Amino acid sequence: MRTETKSPDDRLNRVVVTLKLNQQQLELIDRTIARGIAPDRESLIRLALREYAAARAGKPASGTAQS
């Protein structure tokens, strides 16, 4: 799975993230999407990365699962 993302802040660079997931991980992602957490895999990965970055920075995540 590969996703390119642009920050809402134009001063930041585009980041390319390449994930290598096994079948079990893909199934978990798909089940999470089916629960309505995000509309698609890309949106779910973006949400997870935002939440991870916010946790590491010690501040709440902003935005939703939408791109």
- Domain membership of residue 63 (yes or no) is no
Residue 48 lies in a domain: yes
Question: Could you tell me the residue range of the domain that residue 12 belongs to?
Answer: 2-57
**Is the residue at 65 inside a domain?**
no
- Reported pTM: 0.65
**27-61 per-position pLDDT tens digit:** 999 999 999 999 999 999 999 999 999 998 876 66
Domain assignment present for 67: no
Split at pLDDT 50, 70, 90, the class of 67 is: very low
Type of residue numbered 7: S
Structure tokens at 8: 């809402």
pLDDT in tens, 3-33: 555 555 555 667 788 999 999 999 999 999 9
Q: For the stretch 13-43, what's the b/e string if a residue is b when 16 or more beta carbons lie within 10 angstroms of its beta carbon?
A: eeeeeeeeeeeeeeeebeeebeeeebeebbb
CA distance 59 to 66: 20
Nearest partner of 44 among 56, 34, 54, judged by Cα: 34
- Residue 43 resides in a domain: yes
